[in-house]
Chain A
Amino acid sequence: MAHTLGDFEQLILMAMLRLGADAYGVSLRQEIESRTGRTVSAGALYTALDRMEKRGLVTSRLGEPTQARGGKRKRLYTLLPAGERALARVYESLRLMAGGVGARLRAIKE
């Protein structure tokens, strides 16, 4: 694959892995914001999801309408095998490179 995953894309895919069947705009945003403490802009999130869908990493479908959102349907996202593989590859290389330096990394204060 020509493209590697961007930093933000990795976070989104990771969040999707965690959320499973309930991954959509609001839940993804909350998952990333609550776990990493960084603010996620709506524009960046939807654009990244669009791009990854075009690249065949994720797929989406419209769910059932719910009362809480003014009767509007959710767009639910699912990881595709290509996305899972890309995420696994990134994680694997990061894990391999981080071998033995974990303690030092954690000790670095921002």
Chain B
Amino acid sequence: MAVAPPRLACALLRWLLPPDDFEAISGDLEESLDEALTAASNRRGRLWYWRQVGSILISRVADAIRDLTAGQPKGRLRMGFGHDLSYAVRSVMKARVFAVTTILMLAIGIGATVAIFSLVNAVLLKPLPFADPDRLMIVHLLAPDREAPGITRPNIWSYPKYQTFRENQRAFESMAAFGAGNWNLTGTDSPERLSGEFVESSYFDVLGIRPIAGRTFSPEETRTPGSAPLAVLGYGVWSRRFGLDPGIVGHSVDLNGIPHTIVGILPRGFRGLTGSADVWVPLTTLAAEDLGNPYDHSYTVVARRKPDVSAIQADADARLVGKAVDVRYHDGRNPGWSATAMALDDQRVDPIVRRSILLLLTAVVSVLLIVCLNLANLTLFKAFARQREVAIRLALGASRFRIVRQQMTESALLGATGAVAGVAVAWVILRIGGSFLPDLRMVLSGAASGPGRATAGQTAGLTRVALDYVGFDTSTLVFTLLTGVITIILFGLGPAWGGSRRDLTAAMKASFSGATTARSRRIGGRNALVVAEIALALVLLTAAGLMLTSVARLQSAALGFNPDAVLTFRVPLAAPRYDSRSGAQLLERLVNGLSQRTGVIAATYGSCAPVSGGCNRTTSKRPDRPPADGTESPVEVLWALPGYFDTLGIGVIRGRTFTDRDRTGQPKVVVISETAARSYWPGEDPIGKRVALGQGGFGGEGAEIIGIVQDVRYGSVETSVLPDVYLPLLQSMRSGGIIFVKSRLGAAALMPIVRQEVSALDRDVPLIDVRMMDERLGDATWRTRSSAWLLGMFAALALVLSALGLYGVMSQGVEQRRRELGVRLALGAQRADILRLIFGRVLTLAVTGIALGIALALPAMRLLTALLYQVRPGDPLVFISLSLILLGVALLAGYVPAKRATNVDPLTTLRDC
């Protein structure tokens, strides 16, 4: 297919038409789309499709109206509309308070819904900004799980395995391997750290990205490993560092100290599949021994499937060819590798992010529903007040349709104004939200690169790619339109229909006397609305309550370290200037230098920051165990300098931590965490025992355990801790990691000192990732906190709205029963009896609503499980306390009308009629 039909339009069509019609008509549209628009652009094709769907929608609606009005003479119908509109405007102007309330409520409800929808649209619905994105797929290796036979997990590729795959596959027309990389841009005044990608030359063609200046890499230039250093720059770095000078093409820049020739510039907005790339370098600039290692799995593969191959066929082909790869690079210990192809679109969002966004959308739609219920109530009350007028008009021969149409015109007028105001509200929300939460991207990507990292490979940045597109577009506007129309139908049609019942005598009588069946039926309908509102409010309240409980538990969670007054940063020490040995030496000198400065309490090094999404993982063995028992156990490994545990306030439980004497040449030592001690040496003292590790040169005989420290949450606050093993940096050199500086000076005063120390050692090394430790902690809990607060706001809104609804129904009920109450009082009823009567009604409504709400919420809350921290979805405390709060608010809302009822003066009420 040349152009893919827009998904939302297609979904709209599917919703609009019966299945057979949908198949035939959407088939027709797709066929025409192909023929007419092969040459035209994607955008115009989408526009054309939307226009067709729009015309079908309009015709259907017009047709339905024509059916409804089949009995009406044509001329009168047309004339009637203008009349209705002017009547509606007059009636709205007369009841200004009602109109303003309605429009305000709608604006808030629709505004919030549209704002959340535009987030959903950008992150989940909108096609990715690449050419023909439907045909793009991510191809992963499938690695068998060693611990669970028969289970395979997606895995990224080694270059030789990928080459074998590419030569044997037939499902894809083009494919490209890529990997994330980081480069120090040096040789200029201020060194800068750039994120980028190692890519094959086909990468840009696969995605359909054309350079805006120069060219991309050619296949000839990138044929063999160790090819010439070339670079393509992103628009951002081009404008930031080179002032948009097109003459830069052909010149060279220093990346990690090596001059790279710039061959081209990419268009604005393109940041690669990692979502944060500024520079692209050929994959083949890597050394042959790295690239040629068939067991170095480092690269993600993106592929474009042939037009006549379906996604399912492509996956089948990938699985077949994957077997061939397994045969060629057989892994004796872990046989049965394969490959799989997944739509790029399905990889774009981390499931947790998807779930919290959909949760917010559900919540905001519920609020809108409550708004509609409330407005239906208000409209019903108005219809009731107008009952006599309507009855007279019906008696004079007006058709029911005519009456309904007139009242709907009024609702539509209010609804349309509310929707327009709602768009304005949504715009404001998005603007404020955008400036208020500048690190939204980072947080989302942080979430996406958490537990699912191995699966998501290097496409986790797709969430970020999509977030650049939050805003208004056709889909958002169509959504707003639909929301408006549905809202109008919800709050307008029911009351208008009910209010125009052809029960003339009853209606006429009702308006003159007192209680009749017609009225009680209407009251019944309004009671049902209130019960529904209360039930919905309870569902929202429990969702918010559970999320807020999670937040409270998160904040009091034992972190295992003290984040106060600690500045953190990285100094990227890149090869070839630094190897692990010289890097580690520089890090030690830097830490010692910083510790000497006044104002600095302590400085240290650690390979990995707490709450950063996890650290290196490897396997461990206990060499003193017999081989049968010596199965490999997974552990998290960290490297540290001696002051690490003191500086971060990590408590020592037993034994000692590292000292300056634990250096190369001395006996190898490690420190383990409580969880490691408990899991692998249960019931015995691990101190003095030996452990061998799969990383850091601590294999073989391993190292002696010298101490046990508290658990630290290195992954995230929400996830449970892993068994940790700490290695002394001075015995196992490496050049990457984080410097921690504890100081009473603020970040502003501390930064110049840090800069001075770093440039004294190497003036070409930039400082990156500079943040206070408590900021890191805040970012790590941001997602849960923000969804909890948003939910809390929606729930509070729901609570207030449903209380208002109950108040409205009760006070109107009292108003209508004035005469009856007066009679009761005159006949000797006590005021307490009246209070009990009215209050009993309030209690019945509230309790019914709450019971219904609990019945709805109990199964619904199970969907939240993945988002909750240390609270069960059915937590009785949350349910009971929120039910009581809701009951309290409901009783409060019912108290005022009940009190008013006891003040009825029997004399005046009897005289009034």
Contact = CB atoms under 8 A, between A and B. Distances in A.
A73 B32 CA distance: 14
A43 B54 CA distance: 8
A89 interface: no
A25 B25 contact: yes
Contacts of B20: 62, 75
Given A43-B55, A43-B57, A43-B58, A68 B32 contact: no
A68 B20 CA distance: 18
Interface string A44-69: 10110011000000000010000011
A26 B28 contact: yes
Given A41-B55, A42-B55, A62-B23, A72 B60 contact: no
Contacts of B23: 62, 72-73
Chain A CB count within 10 A is highest, among B25, B28, B62, B63, for B28
Nearest to A40: B55
A42 B26 contact: no
Contacts of A70: 1, 27, 30
A25 B52 contact: no
B24 interface: yes
Contacts of A73: 23-24, 27
B830 interface: no
B56 interface: yes
Contacts of A43: 52, 54-60
A51 B62 CA distance: 13
Interface in A14-46: 24-26, 29, 41-44, 46
Contacts of B468: none
A72 B13 CA distance: 14
B59 A47 contact: yes
Nearest to B52: A42
B774 interface: no
Given A26-B31, A26-B32, A42-B52, A72 B26 contact: yes
Contacts of B26: 72
Contacts of A51: 63
B588 interface: no
Contacts of A44: 55, 59
Contacts of A74: 24, 27-28
Contacts of A41: 52, 55, 59
A69 B63 contact: no
Interface in B42-61: 52, 54-60
Contacts of B58: 43
A68 B21 contact: no
A78 B481 CA distance: 37
B353 interface: no
B32 A29 contact: yes
Nearest to B1: A70
Nearest to A29: B32
Contacts of A68: 31, 34
B29 interface: yes
A46 B56 contact: yes
A50 B62 CA distance: 13
- Chain B contact residues, majority secondary structure: helix
Nearest to B58: A43
B693 to A, nearest CB: 54
A43 B735 CA distance: 66
Chain B CB count within 10 A is highest, among A25, A41, A50, A72, for A72
A68 B63 CA distance: 31
B56 A42 contact: yes
Nearest to B22: A72
Contacts of A47: 59-60, 62-63
A22 to B, nearest CB: 13
Contacts of B57: 43
A3 to B, nearest CB: 12
Given A43-B55, A44-B59, A75 B21 contact: yes
Nearest to B5: A70
A29 B21 CA distance: 17
B26 to A, nearest CB: 6
Nearest to B17: A46
A42 B21 CA distance: 13
A51 B64 CA distance: 12
A47 B34 CA distance: 23
Contacts of B55: 41-44
A39 B878 CA distance: 61
Contacts of A26: 28, 31-32, 35
B19 to A, nearest CB: 11
B22 to A, nearest CB: 9
Contacts of B63: 47, 50-51
Contact of A46 (B1, B32, B59): B59
Contacts of B1: 70
A107 to B, nearest CB: 34
A41 B59 CA distance: 10
Nearest to A63: B24
B33 to A, nearest CB: 10
Nearest to B26: A72
A71 to B, nearest CB: 8
A87 B275 CA distance: 62
Chain B CB count within 10 A is highest, among A41, A50, A51, A70, for A70
A24 B21 CA distance: 12
Contact of A62 (B24, B35, B54, B59): B24
B66 to A, nearest CB: 9
A5 B360 CA distance: 52
Contacts of A24: 24, 28
A42 B28 CA distance: 10
Interface string B56-92: 1111101100000000000000000000000000000
A30 B894 CA distance: 65
A75 B56 contact: no
Chain A CB count within 10 A is highest, among B20, B27, B55, B58, for B27
Contacts of A42: 25, 28-29, 52, 55-56
B423 to A, nearest CB: 26
A50 B729 CA distance: 78
B180 to A, nearest CB: 36
Nearest to B28: A25
Contacts of A62: 20, 23-24
A3 B56 CA distance: 24
B310 to A, nearest CB: 9
A25 B20 CA distance: 14
Contacts of B54: 43
A66 to B, nearest CB: 8
Contacts of B35: 26
Nearest to B53: A42
Nearest to A68: B31
A69 B28 contact: yes
A50 B59 CA distance: 11
B521 to A, nearest CB: 36
Contacts of A69: 27-28, 30-31, 34
B607 to A, nearest CB: 52
Interface in B586-621: none
A107 B866 CA distance: 76
A15 B29 CA distance: 19
Contacts of B31: 26, 68-69
B24 to A, nearest CB: 3
Given A29-B32, A42-B52, A72 B59 contact: no
Interface in A68-96: 68-70, 72-75
A72 B24 contact: yes
8 contacts: A26-B32, A41-B59, A43-B56, A46-B25, A47-B59, A62-B24, A68-B31, A72-B23
Given A26-B31, A50-B63, 10 more contacts: A25-B25, A41-B55, A42-B29, A44-B59, A46-B59, A68-B34, A70-B27, A72-B30, A73-B24, A75-B21
Q: Closest 6 interchain pairs by CB?
A: A72-B27, A43-B59, A43-B55, A75-B24, A25-B28, A47-B59
Interface of B: 1, 20-21, 23-32, 34-35, 52, 54-60, 62-63
